[in-house]
Structure 1
Amino acid sequence: MLSFYHLAFILSILGVSWAGNCIDQFCPPGTFCDERPGPCRNPPCATILACLPIEANGCARMECQAPKVCVERVRPCIGRSCKEIATCETPNTCASVVCPPSQKCHVENGTPTCKKHIPPTRGIIGKAVLDEKQFQDN
């Protein structure tokens, strides 16, 4: 019979873990981390972290009915290949555009476009006060 430590070692080799979440989980190249609800009798259940093949990530296994298109949004993580959340969205809308972190989508002349967006300091640091003059151009 396998002890808990032997089972944990075997599962770690297979890329399965019960600790933490995918934000701080490393997976081998060609795989990504996915969080799955673990088996248990009394919820809430522990989350199982599994390193799955990259072919199962995002839009790779999802089809959308026309006229919708599949859009991938990356869930933040520290590994090279993070989980991509796939959704079906209407084309030519901001929902169908994925902008870089420092940009926000705006519709101009019926076309969604990513524009540079710097949030005000109040939205970042709450009630703290910064000298706004340091951010102004001279």
Structure 2
Amino acid sequence: MLSLYTIIFLVFTVCHADNCIDKFCPPGTFCDERPGPCVKPPCRTILACLPIEANGCARMECKAPQVCVERVRPCIGRSCKEIATCETPNTCAAVVCPPSLKCKVENGVPTCKKHIPPTRGIIGKAVLDEKQFQEE
């Protein structure tokens, strides 16, 4: 149950902004984006620092045989919002790999493997000048 201090704190930490990427929240809380009150779209997002107990799988239950998986939404603070989803066990959807790794199923077991994205994936539709790589 939320204490009076927490409720007052939440009211004062709510602010109008676009996203939680560069919003700092105090320890024990995380930033959450909520749709703001709006008469006519486009509507602004309201950011709130919520107690960590409300983050990720803490308040979500999955029906068997699925399991709850948390994926962190990038932010600048230490406690970022965790997006919870229900996934089938023993699949890559149920595995969260570090940023430099990618899940691959080998012999029926999902594992995180080193992944180096191709240059085209990093620079999008831009084209490299091949002349810069040729020796003169």
Asked whether the two chains share a fold, i.e. TM above 0.5, the reply is yes
2:30 is equivalent to residue 35 of structure 1? no
- Can you list the C-alpha shifts for 1:67-120, whole angstroms capped at 9, x where unaligned? 000000000000000000000000000000000000000001111000000001
Identity of counterpart residues, as a percentage?
80
Paired residue for 2:96?
Answer: 98
Tell me the SS of whatever aligns to 1:101: coil
Cα shift at 1:38:
0.4
Q: 1: distance between equivalents of 2:25 and 2:112?
A: 31
Cα shift at 1:122:
1.6
Query: Given the alignment, which residue of 21, 24, 42 partners 1:23?
Result: 21
TM-score by length of 1: 0.83
Paired residue for 1:6?
Answer: none
Query: Given the alignment, which residue of 77, 80, 89 partners 2:78?
Result: 80
- Can you list the C-alpha shifts for 1:16-69, whole angstroms capped at 9, x where unaligned? 110231001000000000000001111221100000000000000000000000
Paired residue for 2:55?
Answer: 57
Gap runs ≥5 in structure 1: 1-9
Gap runs ≥5 in structure 2: 1-7
Paired residue for 1:4?
Answer: none
Tell me the SS of whatever aligns to 1:25: coil
TM-score by length of 2: 0.84
Cα RMSD (Å): 2.0
Paired residue for 1:109?
Answer: 107
Q: Could you say if the C-alpha distance between residues 11 and 29 of structure 1 is closer, same or farther in structure 2, counting changes exceeding 3 Å?
A: closer
Paired residue for 1:129?
Answer: 128
Aligned length: 123
